[in-house]
Amino acid sequence: MRTLRTLCLLFIALSYTACVTLNETGQQKLILTSTEQENQMGEEGYAEVLQNAKVIKPNPLYSVLQDVGSRIAKQANQPDFKWEYNLIEEDQLNAWCMPGGKIAVYTGIIPFMKNEAGMAAVIGHEVAHATLRHSGQRISQQMGLSAVLGVISGGLQNAQNHDQIMALLGAGSTVGLMLPYGRKHETEADLIGLKYMAKAGYDPQEAVAFWQRFAEVTKGNTPPEFLSTHPGAGTRVKDLQSNMGEAKALYKAAPQKYGSGRELSLPKQTKGGK
């Protein structure tokens, strides 16, 4: 019986296994999970984070986040995503997008974003991680077949590797497990994110300005989960600059332009962090 069960599980697993061609890069990747499963995990993980976080109710900054988020989402063109954009009051230099378009921005990173375009740079980067299915790739590479099957059959809440999955989905800081993306995924997210922001009508040069501000302040400190140690800020800025020609052309062609957009300011009660 046991063997039969194992064989059945293996069969199910193999039917999920697919060599996926990603739209954004045209690359082929082996991903054990389907987009539906990843989105489901994202949905569960998101609900869990929001339940335990201080979510900021609608205010001017929240409205800006809805505007920027939906403009980036439009460029990402993911009909299966159910986009949500939430602002969490916490002094963390962090932002993420879980599979399925579940976005969180922490108030701690707002001063570094500075303006709408800085926010668009960060959200573009995080959304690119989601559209490139980096979480699915990480889960497939790092968890192994049996663990993936466990999550698929039992749901994220009950999964044995709950914390690890939360971290692979991008929200590791909420469970105290930091698993930053690898260098290759970071570079991909930077460049695709740059295109998203430019097409959405935000000045792409502001992405460089954001990373420069961010690198300056985080210098010497442990990098937040959102900013992996690789590539270094210098490489990052250089890569963005060398793709600026294309990004500027996309920006020029954008039907509506916002430049650097509105300046961001934190609601009064959140100023100064905790």
> Residue numbers of the site for Zn ion (CB under 5 A)?
181, 186, 189
Please tell me what DSSP assigns to residue 270. G
CB of 96 to Zn ion, least distance (A): 8
Looking up tokens 């997008």 gives 97
Look up residue 211 and give its amino acid. W
CB of 193 to Zn ion, least distance (A): 8
Please indicate whether residue 246 is annotated as part of the active site: no
189 or 266: whose CB is closer to Zn ion?
Answer: 189
185 or 199: whose CB is closer to Zn ion?
Answer: 185
Beta strands in the chain (DSSP E): 18-21, 28-31, 84-88, 95-98, 102-106
Distances in Å between the Cα of 226 and the Cα atoms of 60, 115, 180, 210 are: 24, 19, 7, 13
104 or 159: whose CB is closer to Zn ion?
Answer: 104
**Catalytic residue, candidates 38, 89, 90, 126:** 126
119 or 152: whose CB is closer to Zn ion?
Answer: 119
CA distance 116 to 145: 41
CB of 104 to Zn ion, least distance (A): 14
CA distance 75 to 199: 7
CB atoms within 10 A of CB 7: 10
CB of 229 to Zn ion, least distance (A): 11
Q: Which two tokens stand for residue 111?
A: 């001063």
3-class SS of residue 38: helix
CB of 185 to Zn ion, least distance (A): 7
120 or 152: whose CB is closer to Zn ion?
Answer: 120
* 72, 120 contact by CB (below 8 A): yes
* 97, 127 contact by CB (below 8 A): yes
Q: Which two tokens stand for residue 138?
A: 């990480």
CA distance 108 to 98: 19
Catalytic residues: 126
